Structure 1
Amino acid sequence: MATRFGKWVLTRTGRRLAGTLVLTGAAGSFLGYYLPNTIFLSGYKEVTCLYKSGIEVPVSGQVTSLLDEVMNDLGLSQLEKKISVYTAYGFDIFHAGSTMVTSGGILGVPINFKYSSVEEFDPTNVTVNNKPVAWSTAAGESLKQSFVLSKEAKKFVLAREITSLGTAEPFVYGTLSAGAIGMVYTMASSVNTKLDFYAKPRTIRMFFYGVLSIFGYAFWMLLKDMATVNYEANADRTVADLGEKYAIGGLEFYEKILQRNMALYKLMGSEGEKLYTAYGNDQVLLRTKHMPFTLRRDYMKNRVEEYKKEKGEAPSADEDIQTQKFSLDIDSQTQNTLDINPQTQISPNIDTQTLNTPDSDVPTQSSLDVVDVQTQNTSNADKQIQNCTDAGGTQTQNTLGVDTITETSPDVVTQTQTCSCEDTSTQNCAPTVVPVEENVQN
């Protein structure tokens, strides 16, 4: 029976039926994305809505007011009627559909959007994996704080979701899915015809179809993930362009998301380690389904700094870039003759003192001549302090030493070359090299 069916598939009628089935599968994969985001959008809303005693939890007036402000800022007030807002289950915002079609879209706002302070948060019915949360622990307290967002952060999230609703994202995903199926079938049909695979053993054809299917599935995953990351990046960029307040809100929001995930990473134990990394990103194996939260946070941080630079404000204290400047003022009109030729490389926060001990028997030379002073500010660089005193005909001992190292960068090696004399008699000092390693954390 199997042999007869296999031979029938190789006939012209069988090939046509196979082509029809592939076309049906491609259309079905497209409809799998299209229907839930258009015709069945109301059913999508019912599944993701938050209920209390069998009744939908209404949207708070605060959220409605923020939504009006965001729509005005985006210049999309005319599209507000095409977006159905409701209270979503869980603590993640949700959207589906598209304002590009007549059915519009839905926007599910989590319950924590009505909180303005930690005191308003009610942890009574909040569970993690259907288990009560240890709110008294450090992770529990961090989780509680991550649920409370400022007005700017809430507006950023609403604007980001509304921007996403203005794209054809779900329909693009459906097209990619259908296209991947059609691509695999076309490639298989072409190879069968050109290499006459129909005349070869069935096991070879099955192996070839399997390899080609894996390739098509991997190609579809790659395209879909790339499209998702691109849509998310464009939404962040569009909202950040609205102004500094939106960028600040975005920075706060992604920091709170990372804080929440890190808290869940600890509270959920081994299950949390499967879902999140220690830094708060989603765990990934072969796919990057979403843009990492750390990258989105860093992008918002850069946008905030750009806005501050445009306004001429000084960098904030928590910036990663720290600039320290040192100046050495030399009066060119003052000539003091003392045969000292120091070549100094000074790192930030290193205090140097020059100690001159003149001998009473030696006539005082009235001028001090500093021949070369080269100062370089470097972090994680080699510092060399070289002091040489020419004592020819003098009994004066001059030393240039590093008195205090108040703060150095890690892995900084300081080499000091000094001229030392055993007594105060006239002699020529030969430099000695003493390596000193400092590993001091700021």
Structure 2
Amino acid sequence: MARAFIKKTNWEKGLGLALAGIWGASFLPQTLGLSRYQKTLANYLEDGTEQPMDAKVDELTQKVLYMINMDINLEMKLKTFMCYGTDPVSRGSVAVRTGAIVGLPHIFAYSEAADVQKQVFQIYNEYSYRGINWDTDAGKQFLDSMLLSDNAKMFGIAREIKYAQSHSVYIEAAMRSIGCAVAFTGYKFLSRTVLGAIPSAPVKLIGLAGVCGITYVLYISLLDYYNCWKDQRVDLNTCRLSMDIANGGVEFYEKMLQRNIAARVLLGKRGELQYTVYGNEHTTLRRPHQPLSHRLMMVKKVRDSLMDNPPPPVRFDSKADEDTTVGFGKVF
């Protein structure tokens, strides 16, 4: 049966369909599926409605957009919303017609400890959800980690906008399609050389599985390398916006590490499996992103270099342009 399958399958058409399917599966969720992403990532109020953008967070977003000086046509493709969790997120790309979304965590609306809605934070430990004991050292550290300065918030906003300016949607979809093409080409080459002298169809299927496995490992390695390179490039370009943003970047990653260290204690055994003692996420053979401690170290280096050669200060006057609105609001 396996032999009949191999003989009768039109590999050329199969390859075309596979490449189209892989491209679509990679490309569509971050283009036409952005609305579904937003519904999934959005923070919801008790009445079930999506939390509107906080006025202060929106003002910080306007300042960041002014510093980035994005083309107005690209800026209009960018949409912000309040997301759940403690970290900003982004999906899509302004390089694509469908644009991008940037989710800003609801903790960005906090200015002081009294603003923190402690009741919404629960941890899953020992097969049940329970509230955080805010009186413990770990609870106090976790609470403090959610209170960010405006500079740290602006770094987080700018970082995600920089991600949204990248062409990663195209690149990642292309890498998946190329990986499929390489696997197909490799198998065809083996079937005409080494495997061609072996009449056993199961052996050929094993050869196909081996080629696919090797290609997958190469693809994962390349994808992780690209993501780490992208993280480093985005952090570098974000810090170069201004000295305040660079200082905010140091605080942003310090607070992220502090939050993870506190979560490691609060989550018990699960936290020990998820985070290291330094606050980085545990990884095995892969490194899908740059470790937070590495990103903090790099941001500090950029900040120190900016001290010697500071960028020109950025003047932001919200009152000067309060009568002109488009896209996010103001046109600068």
Smaller-chain TM-score bracket: 0.7 to 0.9
**Aligned partner of residue 128 in structure 1, secondary structure:** strand
Matches within 5 A, 1:326-365: none
**Aligned partner of residue 277 in structure 2, secondary structure:** coil
CA distance in 2 between partners of 1:36 and 1:9 (Å): 32
Matched, 1:95 2:94: no
Give the CA deviation at 1:26: 2.5
Q: Letter of the aligned partner of 1:149 in structure 2?
A: L
Deviations 1:224-282 (A, max 9, x none): 11111111111111011112111100000000000011111111111112211111111
Give the CA deviation at 1:73: 0.4
**Aligned partner of residue 79 in structure 2, secondary structure:** strand
Q: Is the Cα contact below 8 Å between 1:71 and 1:77 reproduced in 2?
A: no
**1:64 match:** 58
Matched, 1:7 2:6: no
Deviations 1:264-322 (A, max 9, x none): 111111111221111111111011011111011011111222233447xxxxxxxxxxx
**Aligned partner of residue 100 in structure 1, secondary structure:** coil
CA distance in 2 between partners of 1:74 and 1:29 (Å): 34
**Aligned partner of residue 119 in structure 1, secondary structure:** helix
Matched, 1:47 2:40: yes
Matches within 5 A, 1:93-242: 93-129=88-124, 130-197=129-196, 199-242=198-241
CA distance in 2 between partners of 1:304 and 1:8 (Å): 64
**1:30 match:** 23
Q: Letter of the aligned partner of 2:32 in structure 1?
A: I
**1:308 match:** 307
Task: Could you tell me which runs of 5 or more consecutive residues in structure 1 were left unpaired when the two chains were aligned.
Answer: 312-442
Deviations 1:81-124 (A, max 9, x none): 21111111211211111101221111111100011122221211
Q: 1:86 aligns with which of 71, 81, 105?
A: 81
Distance change in 2, residues 1:65/1:190 (3 Å): same
Higher helix share: 2
- In the comparison of the two structures, how many residue pairs are matched? 304
**1:289 match:** 288
Q: Is the Cα contact below 8 Å between 2:195 and 2:204 reproduced in 1?
A: no
Q: Is the Cα contact below 8 Å between 1:229 and 1:290 reproduced in 2?
A: yes
Q: Letter of the aligned partner of 1:84 in structure 2?
A: K
Q: Kindly, what percent of the aligned residue pairs are identical? A: 26
**After alignment, is 66-75 or 193-202 more displaced?**
193-202
Pairwise CA RMSD: 1.6
CA distance in 1 between partners of 2:197 and 2:43 (Å): 55
Q: Is the Cα contact below 8 Å between 1:155 and 1:246 reproduced in 2?
A: yes
Give the CA deviation at 1:7: 3.3
**1:74 match:** 68
**2:260 match:** 261
Deviations 1:342-362 (A, max 9, x none): xxxxxxxxxxxxxxxxxxxxx
Give the TM-score normalised by structure 1: 0.66
Q: Letter of the aligned partner of 1:7 in structure 2?
A: R
Q: Is the Cα contact below 8 Å between 2:93 and 2:165 reproduced in 1?
A: yes
Q: Is the Cα contact below 8 Å between 1:30 and 1:171 reproduced in 2?
A: no
Q: Is the Cα contact below 8 Å between 2:3 and 2:201 reproduced in 1?
A: no
**1:403 match:** none
Give the CA deviation at 1:196: 4.5
Distance change in 2, residues 1:125/1:10 (3 Å): closer
CA distance in 2 between partners of 1:170 and 1:101 (Å): 8
CA distance in 1 between partners of 2:248 and 2:41 (Å): 26
Higher strand share: 1
Q: Letter of the aligned partner of 1:111 in structure 2?
A: H
